[in-house]
Amino acid sequence: MSKTMVQAIRLSRSYGEVRALVDVTISVDRGEWLGVMGPSGSGKTTLLNILGGLDRPTLGSLSVDGNEIAGASPADLARYRRETVGLVFQQFHLVQYLTALENVAIVGSLNGLKNGAARSRAAALLADLGMSERLTFLPEKLSGGEKQRVAIARALMNDPAVILADEPTANLDSKIGHEIMRLLQHIAQEQGRSVVIVSHDQRIKDIADRVLWLEDGQFKEMVAMAVDPVCGMSVERERAAATMEWEGTTYYFCSRGCRSEYAEQVSAAYKGEGSYAS
């Protein structure tokens, strides 16, 4: 059995005159936790959609577990999405009128499991993710972290070899986002699944086995990033909208508004002592 689970060679994707991906080559091993970072509009979601069989490359090849995906028929692509990959989305995409258990079980039912078997597996997956007390809850009654756990259980329902996650912590607070990151790490390490996550979250660099930087549709050297201390957004240091020096430390901001707010906080805390510069 090959160590490599995903092998993409010189993938390109164009939408009219827009080149979303340009000659991207990537490989992911079995059980590897790979992070892909980059600014908005860099091609991260396009790459994930191609890896997930939701889109096709304009050029290039893609094989997953030894099977060619880029040129597969619509029927084979549908089978690939059902059986080989599990998808986790930023917006959760749960069915609002189904309970947590039903949101997960329906995936198994659509893939041929009898209702009882599907519900039993869904309940077991949710219990493993700490959701055994929320099986009968509708999505509107769940917190953001709980919704994402349901979404992860749904992605695992058909026992996929590959998990693909698009900004899975973007709508979560810091503590819950960190828990979700660790959960996905556990899935890769303990269950031997290949996990690919695209994210702006800086914590991915502390958890993932590897992190690649995608910019303008191509993999490039990782840029220096910082976290805006006001809004928590990841900011490229060289492209920060504003900076502030305080007590020997440089702070980077996504906007001058965040910088002004932080300056006011510092001024209030230190009663105007010290200085800062934009």
**CA Rg value for the chain:** 21
What is the distance between the alpha carbons of residues 23 and 66, in angstroms, rounded to a whole number?
Answer: 21
CA atoms within 13 A on the CB side of 22: 11
The set of residues, in sequence order, having a beta carbon less than 8 Å from that of 190 and lying 6+ positions away, is: none
Q: How does strand 67-68 pair with strand 249-253?
A: unpaired
Cβ atoms 201, 38 nearer than 8 A:
no
Q: Please give the domain boundaries of the chain with CATH numbers for all domains.
A: 4-220 (3.40.50.300), 225-270 (no CATH)
List average pLDDT for each run of 10 residues in the chain, which is 278 residues long: 89 94 94 90 94 95 93 92 92 94 95 93 95 96 94 95 91 82 88 92 83 90 73 76 87 89 84 49
Q: How many CB atoms lie within 10 A of CB 113?
A: 18
Q: Which value, to the nearest 10 degrees, does the dihedral of the CA atoms of residues 185, 141, 113, 49 take? A: -50
Cβ atoms 20, 14 nearer than 8 A:
yes
- Residue 207's pLDDT is what? 83
- Residue 271's pLDDT is what? 63
Long-range CB pairs of 122-126 (<8 Å, 24+ gap) are 122/153, 122/157, 125/153, 125/156, 125/157, 126/100, 126/101, 126/150, 126/153
Instruction: Tell how many helices (H) and how many strands (E) occur in the chain.
Output: 8, 14
Q: pTM higher than 0.95 for the full model?
A: no
- Tell me which residue has tokens 């039903």: 102
**Helix or strand run (H / E) with residue 198:** strand 194-198
**Helix or strand run (H / E) with residue 242:** strand 242-246
What is the distance between the alpha carbons of residues 196 and 205, in angstroms, rounded to a whole number?
Answer: 13
CA-angle at 257, arms to 256 and 260, nearest 5°? 85
- Residue 40's pLDDT is what? 84
- Residue 117's pLDDT is what? 95
